Amino acid sequence: MTLTLDLTRTLAAGGVTGGISAADWADVTTHAATARAAFTARREAGVLGFLDLPADDDGVAALQAFAAEVRGQYDDVLLLGIGGSSLGAIALRSSLRPWGVNLMPADRRGGWPRVHVLDTPDPTVVLGALDLVDLRRTMVCVVSKSGGTAETLAQYSVVRDRLSKVHGETLTRHLVFVTDPDVGPLRAIARAEGIRTFEVPSNVGGRYSVLSAVGLLPAALMGADIGALLSGAAAMAARCTQDAWRENPALAWAITQWLLHTRQGKPIHVLMPYVDALRDIAPWFVQLWAESLGKIAPDGTHVGPTPLAAVGPADQHAQVQLFMEGPADKVVTFITLAEPPGDQVIPSVHPKTREISYLAGHGLWTLVDAEQRATAAALATMGRPSATMQLERLDPWHVGGLLMWLQCATIYAAGLYGINPLDQPGVELGKRYTGALLGRAGTEAERAAYEAADSPASSRLVI
């Protein structure tokens, strides 16, 4: 079982004219040492709690026992959460369960409930979901590390009110919270009402929480093998804490992304799985990379790459035109599989039609795989760099490894950019303005600032 990283086409020496130059690559050991030192300092400060999640055997056992206990009691689970509290569950559902799992009848799902992730307070989603499920047989998981996120609490209020109409005073039996062990309104409500909770360790931030109960609870409720997921993550954490960059795929990948950005003018970092089951890992990564690395550096400069999600082969008919002939400001990282996730030979149905007959006899997967290799080669021909992350096969072990890899890489990249990957001060002002617009107590100054920032009617341009 392996996960490999091919960086050949990130290098000018690998034959890609827009790749990292020999002179820049000559300093790779120094860059590795810088990134490792920053990573180690954070680890020693105790703030990289995501690295320790795979070792939480008791936590995993509790989640597995809970999932087994409720299996068969519920047809549906509504997961309420946003950002780091929802994207991981979405990625795990498509990575670990069969395509269309929520469309399958209960027996084909093994009796596990359908898990619906509501990651917005948009009423069409909230009301649409409530319309879809039978609340008598629905569990509601409220996922919020802080316990104070407006979108999630708004969803919770609406859904709880509906639950109370169905269950009366016993509604809390159908609620589960995933939140901080000590602080926040959800924790306080859970204590007061005896609501079942699972913890997000206080040193695990939202976008680094996919391997905590934030991702593991929904994954366990879907019947996924969370033990194998964590075992793959543990193996990758061991690789990704090596000092030598050749032994450490997260460090090596972070260095190439950073060098391509800062030395070769490639600030746009595309993650492009050519494995449909991994397509939702791309938006999960986008949040991780964007919210972690888009920062004001200590010297006041604005830094950070722009992540972009793509998926193959679909994006060959959408974004690849831009990647090939648009500005030379992108590096693409493909995610591929060494072993097909099952295959189907394409039958010969029109042997005399040349446009179709050449496909006959090949596997569907052979086509997908050929398209990935062809796209990488075409990009290289245009001087556009790319890297390839390859999983030996599609299973929970390799998915866990991939998630750990990308999280470690984010911390290494932060060390190279010289910023803190664990905070998100830039989203606070918008949150305070929202509170002010809704009349939240104590936000009078924000209300005044919002109004001062609002354009006067005379300067509006509305067409």
* Catalytic residue numbers, as ranges: 291, 317, 431
Q: Which residue number is nearest to ligand PA5 in terms of Cβ?
A: 206
Residue 102 or residue 202: which is nearer to ligand PA5 going by CB?
202
Residue 377 or residue 429: which is nearer to ligand PA5 going by CB?
429
Enumerate residues 6+ apart whose C-beta is below 8 A from 403: 88, 91, 210, 211, 233, 281, 284
Residue 19 or residue 218: which is nearer to ligand PA5 going by CB?
218
Residue 152 or residue 257: which is nearer to ligand PA5 going by CB?
152
- Are 84 and 145 spatial neighbours (Cβ–Cβ below 8 Å)? yes
Q: Measured from the CB of residue 202, what is the shortest distance to ligand PA5 in angstroms?
A: 12
Binding site for ligand PA5 (CB under 6 A): 82-85, 144-146, 149, 152, 205-207, 291, 424
**Residue 120 token pair:** 């917005």
CA dist., res. 130 & res. 160, Å (int)? 11
Backbone angles phi, psi at 183, to 5 degrees: -115, 165
User: Please, what's the largest Cα pairwise distance for the chain?
Assistant: 75
Enumerate residues 6+ apart whose C-beta is below 8 A from 241: 39, 43, 51, 248, 408
DSSP 125: H
Q: Measured from the CB of residue 50, what is the shortest distance to ligand PA5 in angstroms?
A: 11
User: What DSSP letter does each residue of 242-298 carry, written as one string?
Assistant: -SSGGG-HHHHHHHHHHHHHHTT---EEEEEESSGGGTTHHHHHHHHHHHHH-EE-T
Nearest 5°: the CA angle 381, 384, 385 is 110
Residue 121 or residue 223: which is nearer to ligand PA5 going by CB?
121
CA dist., res. 102 & res. 310, Å (int)? 24
> Which of these, 221, 265, 240, lies nearest to 92 by C-alpha position?
221
Q: Measured from the CB of residue 107, what is the shortest distance to ligand PA5 in angstroms?
A: 34
In angstroms, the Cα distances linking 85 to 132, 250, 425 are 22, 23, 18
Helix, strand or coil, per DSSP, at residue 98:
coil
Q: Measured from the CB of residue 63, what is the shortest distance to ligand PA5 in angstroms?
A: 18
> Which amino acid appears at position 267 of this protein?
P
Q: Measured from the CB of residue 152, what is the shortest distance to ligand PA5 in angstroms?
A: 5
Residue 133 or residue 200: which is nearer to ligand PA5 going by CB?
200
Q: Measured from the CB of residue 191, what is the shortest distance to ligand PA5 in angstroms?
A: 18
